[in-house]
Structure 1
Amino acid sequence: MQIVERTSATGLESHIRGQRLAASEDVFSNDVLVQIFTRERIEQSFVVPAVAEPLIVWVLCGSATIEEREPGKEWLASEVTKGDFFLTTSAVPYEMRWHVNSAEPFVVMHIYLGLPLLERAIQETHKEVTGAICLREISGGRDEALSVLFEQFRVELTTQGESSPLLMQGIAQCIAVHLARRYLDTQADNIVQRNALPAFKLKRVLNAMERSLSEAFCLGDLAVEAGMSEYHFSRLFKRATGLSPSRYFIRLRMTKARQLLIETDMSIIDAGLEVGYSSASHFSQAFKREVGVLPSHYRK
């Protein structure tokens, strides 16, 4: 019997199916976080967490129709192909879905730039800007200069051998300056003062959650991972994901449980134990409350 483990790199990875191909964890700094994923051909609606840093998504391979919307609003569609990118600065969670149109796999790169780095770039390139500063939203855009820089990230992450933190930081600085020069929006909310979790803290907390799915939920331990008080952490976590830490933890448990029920021959009792439920009845009740059906019906 093979049990497939599922790990999260950011809040997105608790919802989006696919495989992480590479990440900058070993060379991670607060200035940049880079990840490469291959995605499923059809992805139904999922929630993209809001984090402090703008998120850049660059299409490495394939073409797709991608739809986005804020909660309760109409879907907006973009046709994207290799070389296109998204720049998202939403301070609240939003929904996304897609379907792939090409025979090629759909491979994307996620890039988070730290706010201190962006702030330094904006101060250097726009000394006259003293009011609110933010980057424009871009959906399915194309920028050859950015593509050259993103490609350097790809090569550094996918070439065998040890990646260079210094090189990664240098590329990140070039990207930050380019964004400050080309995509500044002085009419929007201040990106530096945005009240949300930094991506690297959200990543650290979600990894800790996934390591402890079989254990009792502990808010204090997660707050320590984030380096915050429990109250401050809970407030910013809910702002980022739309859920309280405890509710998000249950959702992660059920994500893992669904995977075990579908992808392995593990018994329902053992699947419940794997995600922290010592009682079969308690697991069944929690599963039905979250998924809508009993574990036995879901497996069928």
Structure 2
Amino acid sequence: MHTAERTSATGLEAHIRGERLAASDDVAANDVLAQIFIRERIEQSVIVPAVAEPLIVWVLSGQATIEEREAGEEWMASEVTQDDFFLTTTAVPYEMRWRVSSPEPFVVMHIYLGLQLLERAIQENHQQVTGSIRLREVSGGRDEGLSRLLEQFRIELTHRGETSTLWMQGIAQCIAVHLARNYLDVDAQNIVPRNALPAYKLKRVVNAMEASLAEAFHLGDLAHEAGMSEYHFSRLFKRATGHSPSQYFIKLRMTKAKQLLVETGMSIIDIGLDVGYSSASHFSQVFKREVGVPPSHYRQ
């Protein structure tokens, strides 16, 4: 378990600012992936990746107006408070933004359920279902039974002692059964495309990117991290995030540079070196292209 990890680029969401409070990094990755965040009070735009597993976002504290849309679509708004949840199974990246309206911090938990776990739960509860299956999309919903299960997950995830993998897997199984019983949409298409990138693999790759921002970009190393060929990895990564691996790597570098510009007194030259640019002019050129203003203007 990881606690109080200040970050501007957390594993699955390269551009969501905030503080990661806990994560299930040590739990069997293909069963469940969970993270708890304190979010910034105002977020203008966040791209949520499209991965193989369904995503549950549960509000732990605070009140906020959250808006969602797919590319080119109209914004859809939801007013949410503690215990409200979102259930997403989208096959394409989508955009979110929000504004917190309460004095309490805005804390959320993200859970990606393993696809095989969910399919076993669906088969057990709906043996007559054949062909295409998926879960209903929910925005700002409320479900007391689901909240009780998620609260057990939160307690275990933030426990001061050793997190039990077996316990977390057991709760994940209960959540999968609850979703299969209450949120199945048998008339829709597949849960997700079978060739989508699993969330735990995306997290593993982005973590590797974050750990090597000062180094040269190597597609082969990232593909190896995901256990795929370079071609297959590049295609699925872009499908999940909307960016090629190299473009995403540059965006991570710029996110880290923006954080250092605002939160530290490091020189622009040193910040450029810290994110992999040996030339200050090259760093400034890339920063201006990606962010819209030079580093010196952004700091001001």
The answer, yes or no, to whether TM exceeds 0.5 is yes
Residue 251 of structure 1: aligned partner: 251
| SS of equivalent to 2:277 | coil
Pairing 1:151-300 to 2, within 5 Å after superposition:
151-191=151-191, 193-300=193-300
Say if 2:135 and 2:185, in contact at 8 Å, map to a contact too.
yes
| SS of equivalent to 2:117 | helix
Please give the alpha-carbon distance, in whole angstroms, between the structure 2 residues aligned to 1:136 and 1:71.
20
Of the structure 1 ranges 184-193 and 214-223, higher mean CA displacement relative to structure 2 is found in 184-193
Kindly tell me the number of residue pairs found equivalent between the two proteins.
296
Residue 46 of structure 2: aligned partner: 46
Say if 1:64 and 1:81, in contact at 8 Å, map to a contact too.
yes
Deviation per CA, 1:120-165: give whole Å up to 9, x if none: 1111111111110100000000111110100001111112110110
Say if 1:257 and 1:275, in contact at 8 Å, map to a contact too.
yes
State the 1:192 CA deviation. 5.8
Residue 120 of structure 2: aligned partner: 120
Residue 134 of structure 1: aligned partner: 134
State the 1:29 CA deviation. 2.9
Please give the alpha-carbon distance, in whole angstroms, between the structure 2 residues aligned to 1:221 and 1:32.
25
Say if 1:268 and 1:295, in contact at 8 Å, map to a contact too.
yes
State the 1:5 CA deviation. 6.6
Please give the alpha-carbon distance, in whole angstroms, between the structure 2 residues aligned to 1:9 and 1:262.
18
Please give the alpha-carbon distance, in whole angstroms, between the structure 2 residues aligned to 1:29 and 1:292.
37
Please give the alpha-carbon distance, in whole angstroms, between the structure 1 residues aligned to 2:9 and 2:202.
10
Matched-pair identity in % = 77
| SS of equivalent to 1:44 | strand
Residue 77 of structure 1: aligned partner: 77
Please give the alpha-carbon distance, in whole angstroms, between the structure 1 residues aligned to 2:23 and 2:62.
20
| SS of equivalent to 1:59 | strand
- Note the aligned Cα RMSD (angstroms): 1.3
Say if 2:21 and 2:38, in contact at 8 Å, map to a contact too.
yes
State the 1:298 CA deviation. 1.4
Aligned residue identity for 2:215: E
Deviation per CA, 1:251-277: give whole Å up to 9, x if none: 000111111111111011100000000
State the 1:9 CA deviation. 4.1
Say if 1:237 and 1:245, in contact at 8 Å, map to a contact too.
yes
Structure 2: stretches of 5+ with no match in the other structure: none
State the 1:297 CA deviation. 1.6
Deviation per CA, 1:226-256: give whole Å up to 9, x if none: 0000000000000000000000000000111
Say if 2:9 and 2:256, in contact at 8 Å, map to a contact too.
no
Closer, same or farther: CA 213–5 of 1 in aligned 2, 3 Å: farther
1:17 is the counterpart of 2:17: yes
Residue 6 of structure 1: aligned partner: 7
Residue 148 of structure 2: aligned partner: 148
| SS of equivalent to 1:270 | helix
